[in-house]
Structure 1
């Protein structure tokens, strides 16, 4: 890249692998499987608490799409930004859902890449590495489950053993533990990727002489069911006689430290009242982060119904048996289709209860004084009486 406006071309690595080429100089890939069809959930239903007429309504199945074959991409003299896009010599930028899982963020990332002034800096050089990153943050548990663990397993099996895994400087200890559980020791982690920010910082970019990039199991909002081997491996480590066993569990977030002032908090304002409703309906209220990881897996594997707020904890439904039920409580301004991925992959019954936000937020949206982003992250609530009525409808299967 010779200047701030010199992106020569863009290569979607997922499309490259799916179509079988052609490849550019300094770019190679090897496939280790075939494209398959994504799964379908057992059933989907939604309960809108703000609807004029209350009741459960069917969510039509999304149908299936073809997945990207699992593959390992090799790039010579790659410039790693840590935010997703990888730059080849000459300015060609590698993108695609294996590098930028959320397509809506691509334009902002490319803009940040142009504004970074990379041509004015001589980056730190690394002989070889396997890239294990996520632009949404590698400190988020849900991204490790859906995005990074399947990539790590693919790389573990096919990258030379002397190649380190390039991870974030702030990789959390739980993530290190997950990697160790699938056979990647902490000594193999090269903690050099930039810390999370909204910008690409030129001084923190890295030049890797030979970079390996494993393709993602997630093609934006669809998941490859053939890439579930890593979950079966972790399931095999769960105790046969767990300390806690319950058929219905509610995932409490009351013990989590809230990041006050951050938009990503998405606070459920009446969380305590919601917990009481589930408790009264016979659910066991659990704070999963307080349990050892194998106990968490066993808890979900033995549950028939799991419920909780929209967030990473619900991705633990990956451990559930087919025909189990996942109940998601969500803001009316947010529809997290990653839960769709989980429900489709494990063939679950998916139940979505959408709460309400303050009328002043809705008025502000209409008047233009509140942005869609602010409404998306606005505090929300679920009416306890309506929730009780919804749960009493026996829609768990």
Structure 2
């Protein structure tokens, strides 16, 4: 049987306009015309593929340009020329997604692809293999269990050839663009992990700590907590909670204070009228600012000192040459900065 390909559009492209009022000039924080991408599901029969982060798909003697990157094409060509492409029997669902080793991209970029696949008429039970990048964390195991994906079907590209030939492959185009989260992505994630949304009127005040991590920690966190805990703030460590526990905790929150990080991806579980204070020293992305603007949340960013004790001029940061240091830099808060956070908190209570 020859190689064939068919595609189906499951979500249309859409533009949303957000007002930009971020008070700091930061090279990664821009808001304006936000595009929800057109999402397509492709089904290929008897293809040769490269399912690394730089993908390539080869059918009917030619590469499928819309799905193929230049680097992925080169890598697959080398494998084909060396005749090193192995055959994987059965039907493969390609969920490989850049950044999905991290919680926020797994939750908001990879998992929504499953909804797209189902919307195109595919049943997860029909796949013999589910191919992902870095299947190595408790939140990934929990999410696949919740979705009914058996462990034995999962292939991790860190331990399996990225280039191979298969009886069939289904792949999905990106579900988000420029870290803007469409309503359909939000609604799908909530439908999976937030089954009972009743909080009996109790609204929690949360401080999301990164003290168990190695980056973007608030080094004098104790000084901030001295002010938050008397106001009945709960200190949470999401790495210690299940996804379901996290979802229900966030859905019952009213005020959230947190350093910038993947924990704020859980804003998708929040209800209306939530207040968020997002703290950073150097690195911050637009993701949670955009989501808060879209949802109408009360959003307040605050820049703290860098780990060296200086206030960094964000406009002059050199991500190209110093990204690792910028991305992981820890945070120090002055008394004045803590007072600013507390003013926001007290106005939000």
TM-score over 0.5 (shorter chain): yes
Aligned to 1:179: 144
Report Cα offsets for 1:265-308 as digits up to 9, x if no partner: 34443333343343355522222332343232121111111121
Aligned to 2:189: 231
Q: Does structure 2 retain, via aligned residues, the 8 Å contact 1:225–1:345?
A: no
Structure 1 residue 83 and structure 2 residue 53: aligned? yes
Structure 1 residue 92 and structure 2 residue 57: aligned? no
Q: Within 5 A, what are the aligned runs for 1:306-345?
A: 306-332=256-282, 334-345=283-294
Is there any run of 5+ residues in structure 1 with no aligned partner, and where? 1-24, 49-59, 100-105, 196-200, 259-264
**For residues 69 and 374 of structure 1, what CA distance do their matches in structure 2 show?**
32
Structure number with greater CO (CA < 8 Å, separation at least 6) is: 1
Q: 2:14 aligns with which of 22, 25, 36?
A: 36
Structure 1 residue 298 and structure 2 residue 276: aligned? no
Q: Does structure 1 retain, via aligned residues, the 8 Å contact 2:42–2:171?
A: yes
Q: 1:252 aligns with which of 188, 204, 209?
A: 209
**For residues 279 and 63 of structure 2, what CA distance do their matches in structure 1 show?**
42
Q: Does structure 1 retain, via aligned residues, the 8 Å contact 2:216–2:261?
A: no
**For residues 112 and 359 of structure 1, what CA distance do their matches in structure 2 show?**
43
Q: 1:69 aligns with which of 19, 24, 38?
A: 38
- Aligned residue pairs total 330
Q: Does structure 2 retain, via aligned residues, the 8 Å contact 1:38–1:225?
A: no
Provide the secondary structure at the position in 2 that maps to 1:323: coil
- The RMSD of aligned alpha carbons is 3.8
Structure 1 residue 165 and structure 2 residue 134: aligned? no
Q: Within 5 A, what are the aligned runs for 1:49-128?
A: 62-76=31-45, 77-89=47-59, 92=63, 110-111=70-71, 114=74, 117-118=78-79, 119-120=81-82, 122-126=84-88, 127-128=90-91
Q: 1:285 aligns with which of 235, 238, 245?
A: 235
So what's the TM-score if we normalise by structure 2? 0.78
**For residues 332 and 230 of structure 2, what CA distance do their matches in structure 1 show?**
16
Q: 1:356 aligns with which of 293, 305, 323?
A: 305
Provide the secondary structure at the position in 1 that maps to 2:126: coil
**For residues 181 and 325 of structure 2, what CA distance do their matches in structure 1 show?**
28
Change (3 A) 1:268 1:205: farther
Change (3 A) 1:290 1:372: closer
Q: Does structure 1 retain, via aligned residues, the 8 Å contact 2:190–2:268?
A: no
Aligned to 1:53: none
Q: Does structure 2 retain, via aligned residues, the 8 Å contact 1:250–1:307?
A: yes
Change (3 A) 1:211 1:336: same
Q: Does structure 2 retain, via aligned residues, the 8 Å contact 1:246–1:299?
A: no
